[in-house]
Structure 1
């Protein structure tokens, strides 16, 4: 039953991550190359923040200048670090949390991805897209 199925059945286990000391250009490359919108920021295996593609888009001024977009982004990105733009105090869930519990969190909060953590170690990520795809398979 949907309500009792654990989130581990729909989470992504091979999570793309960055470190808070990585360059923002690396994060941008990972977002575009892997077609993802959220990247956990880790130190060792512990989640210390969450970075979204929207966070990077907020930094871009390329649309309002006459300059080359790549040049403008590189200049702006060099002024900031992942640590400065990541979200802190990240809400995380256990792989044993139910899909229903995750759906309730997404419905109440204004984010679209949750790191899945066990024993303070990142073991997966679940997104609203994962949840929607799961629900579509139920029909």
Structure 2
């Protein structure tokens, strides 16, 4: 197994984001269209939150009960991204090693972490799936 590899070797570089003032429909469209589970929330070029597929699923009823699409729509119209997202997400530097990222995932129970450069600009995202795929490639 390779040692001291930076997270940049396994992160996803094309990150789909939403703005804080977007609506929840845009989050759902991104998640469904691109088959992703985590979306960073940006405000004035700064990462201010993360919203996940799980966060959105907690808001909807149609997957549990038939005929609840109107209730889902009402919930999506009432709530904002700011009310649903995780605020002040943990970010990691692009130079962090894969091992260090694995330790963060294990200790802090995150499933995705935004990766930032020295100027705190979003340059990628790393998920537990990325880490597992890396480990599988080692064997």
TM-score after normalising by structure 1: 0.93
1:102 corresponds to: 101
Query: In 2, distance between residues paired with 1:132 and 1:34?
Result: 20
2:113 corresponds to: 114
1:56 corresponds to: 56
Any unmatched runs of 5+ in structure 2?
A: none
Query: In 2, distance between residues paired with 1:63 and 1:13?
Result: 32
Query: In 2, distance between residues paired with 1:83 and 1:92?
Result: 18
Is the Cα contact below 8 Å between 1:112 and 1:128 reproduced in 2? Answer: yes
Any unmatched runs of 5+ in structure 1?
A: none
Displacement of 1:45: 2.8
1:23 corresponds to: 23
Number of corresponding residues: 138
Is the Cα contact below 8 Å between 1:2 and 1:99 reproduced in 2? Answer: no
Query: In 2, distance between residues paired with 1:135 and 1:116?
Result: 19
Query: In 2, distance between residues paired with 1:100 and 1:3?
Result: 8
CA RMSD, 1 decimal: 1.4
Displacement of 1:68: 4.3
Query: In 2, distance between residues paired with 1:138 and 1:64?
Result: 40
